[in-house]
Amino acid sequence: QVQLVESGGGLVQAGGSLRLSCAASGRTFSWYAMGWFRQAPGKEREFVTAMTWNIDATYYADSVKGRFTISRDKAKNTLYLQMNRLQPEDTAVYYCAVRSSPTTNLAYPGSYNYWGQGTQVTVSS
């Protein structure tokens, strides 16, 4: 089993920054990748970014490229999402997720085996 706990969300003005954390516990040695998704009210959950656990390959949605950065501290089993130049359209609940086996589609929510409870990010204009 894997447990994921997100933190770091909050209210920020447009143009500001936040850093989200996702602390993981459990069978971390079997992970293939970790990712961040977000879900705004009335919308489907959408891919934000992902990172493969062993070779550090990173992937970003076009909407966040150049503004968001995914990183991780392997010793702490913690995933981070640095979000800069936040905009009101970034407002959503942000979730971290783990994929335990290789996949060609890290942008698909259904590819992930474990999810955190989410943390709210609200960007005011």
Tokens linked to 5:
């706990």
Angle at alpha carbon of residue 22, lines to 17 and 27, rounded to 5°: 160
Cβ proximity of 100 and 30 under 8 Å? yes
Pair of tokens at residue 113: 């085996």
- pLDDT (tens digit per residue) in 99-124: 988 888 999 999 999 999 999 999 99
Question: With the C-alpha atoms ordered 59, 91, 6, 101, is the resulting torsion angle positive or negative?
Answer: negative
Whole-angstrom distance, CA of residue 15 vs CA of residue 86: 5
Percent of the chain clearing pLDDT 90 (strictly above): 79
Q: What are the tens digits of pLDDT across the range 53-76?
A: 888 899 999 999 999 999 999 888
Cβ–Cβ < 8 Å for 65, 84: no
The pLDDT of residue 22: 96
